[in-house]
Amino acid sequence: MKRLSIVFLLVLSGIACAGVEYRKFASPEQQQAYENLTSELRCLVCQNQTIADSNAELAADLRRQVYEMLQQGKSKQDIAEFMTDRYGDFVLYNPPFKLKTGLLWIGPVVFLLLGLIAVFLFARRKKTAEKIEISAEKRQRIRSLLEKGDQS
């Protein structure tokens, strides 16, 4: 039964995505908060989707939870805290900066810097390679060779 209804919902979801959940908000700000929150919380079943995007049952339950807490007048901060208390920082798509998440935040900058340093070193090495000293004697020979080349 459950499986059948999931298949049915999957078929339906393409057509009726927008109309499945209808929620009433007290104010546009509240609706905005709801939309922001649901698109910043990770669905833990299908980990690369937000709970706004996901059709998983858990995502629906969490959307309901967010909606109810907003109705109770809870702030975005309160709701984010409620979620991390239960599911950990992983539930946030925008995790706070702390020791455990440090690599996540600093990593890209570190890699960018490493790349820049590598490019810099590479470019410098090339420049020095071009500046090979040529003795006056060799210079003379090169010139005469070139002139000969022109004559022939």
Partner 1 sequence: MLKYILPLILFIVLAVFLALGLNLHPSEIPSPLINKPAPAFFAPKLQTPTEKLSPTDLKGKVWLFNVWASWCASCRSEHPILNQLAQQKAALIVGLNYKDESKAALGWLAQLGNPYDVSIMDQDGRIGIDWGVYGVPETFVIDKQGVIRYKHTGPVTPEDVQQTFLPLIAKLQAEN
Chain residues in the site for partner 1 (CB under 8 A): 2-3, 44-45, 47, 57-58, 61-62, 65, 84-88, 90
Alpha carbon distance 152, 148 (integer Å) = 6
* Tokens 């939870």 sit on residue: 65
Q: How far is the CB of 89 from partner 1 (least distance, A)?
A: 8
Q: Among the residues of the chain, which ranges form H helices?
A: 2-16, 28-38, 57-71, 76-87, 102-130, 136-151
Alpha carbon distance 150, 2 (integer Å) = 88
Q: Which is nearer to partner 1, 120 or 142 (CB)?
A: 120
Q: Which is nearer to partner 1, 33 or 44 (CB)?
A: 44
Q: How far is the CB of 70 from partner 1 (least distance, A)?
A: 15
Q: Which is nearer to partner 1, 29 or 57 (CB)?
A: 57
Q: What are phi and psi of 92, to 5 degrees?
A: -90, 130
Question: Nearest Cα to 101, choosing from 111, 109, 93, 89?
Answer: 89
Q: How far is the CB of 2 from partner 1 (least distance, A)?
A: 4
Q: Which is nearer to partner 1, 57 or 78 (CB)?
A: 57
Query: What secondary structure letter does DSSP report for 43?
Result: P
Q: How far is the CB of 41 from partner 1 (least distance, A)?
A: 12
